[in-house]
Structure 1
Amino acid sequence: MDRVTIFLALQLIVSGYAFMRGGAPERLTAVALAGAFLLTLGLQSSMSARFVHVEFGILAVDIGLFGVLVALALYADRWWTLWVAAMQGLGAGAHLIKAIDSETIRVVYAILAAAWGYPIILLLLIGTVRHQRRKMQGGDLDWSTQAMRNQQRQVAGDHNI
């Protein structure tokens, strides 16, 4: 099996588990990661041209995913979402490196852009298992109560948050 097939299998297994057994942050992360992977497959260059220049299609997907993960990290009552957002930011930053220095070796660019996917999947798995354990012990809040209070105050018109 090649690395893309292995990654796809891991992604589908972990995202499926997170979607079925996780709380709202786990489910949203699973959908976002799976969607980003599928979009990346459709937008990436042909094998001979891949990572020779900045992959603008993948860059757009990575930045969009980064935005979703940062929003989750800000509102979710989970520690792992912070790490996932940071790792995705590093992966998206690989495109900036290639844009700054077009002489960056394509293998280095590819590794910097893609390598963060494996620890992100691992953190989603750990977060889902942890959610299940906390749920069995009596409950696990999906969203930060402070973030929700601030959101309610903002909707009510209190802009002094």
Structure 2
Amino acid sequence: MADATTIQPLNQDEEAFLRALGRVLAYLPRVVDADMVSEQPITSGEYMVLVHLSEAPQNRMRMSELANACGLSLSGMTRVVKRLETQSLVLREKCPDDGRAWLAVLTSSGWTCLKQAWPTNLASVRRHIFSRLEGCDVAAAARVLERIAAGD
């Protein structure tokens, strides 16, 4: 880490970007979640768990990998999966090659819920995100966000 005397303060554009990013990080989950729960039996976070499981081989993932993919702690993911289990959308089973690990598995009811929730989620992200990005290079923005998320 650099010495505090050698660190350059943020310039006006950097400060504006950082503050706007903070507001977006607080705003987006709240509004997308509100849209989801107003029309669906699941939250936007639960929806993303179902999405990741739907894209995984055999619709199953180790709980730790699923937590990482969703940006949650393992205990946070366990709470989400337990809620989804009570709705029969996901089930947990022991990992066959590692008795200490658990897998989250998308059920047929989970698939049905995911398909029903997709239009609500799509409309929400189009309204709250992509409608505001006209004229922007979305692919370049995605690359920048991926570099930030990689944390290297």
- Taking structure 1 as the reference length, the TM-score comes to 0.26
Structure with higher strand content: 2
Computing the radius of gyration from Cα coordinates, the structure with the larger value is: 2
- Taking structure 2 as the reference length, the TM-score comes to 0.27
Structure with higher helix content: 1
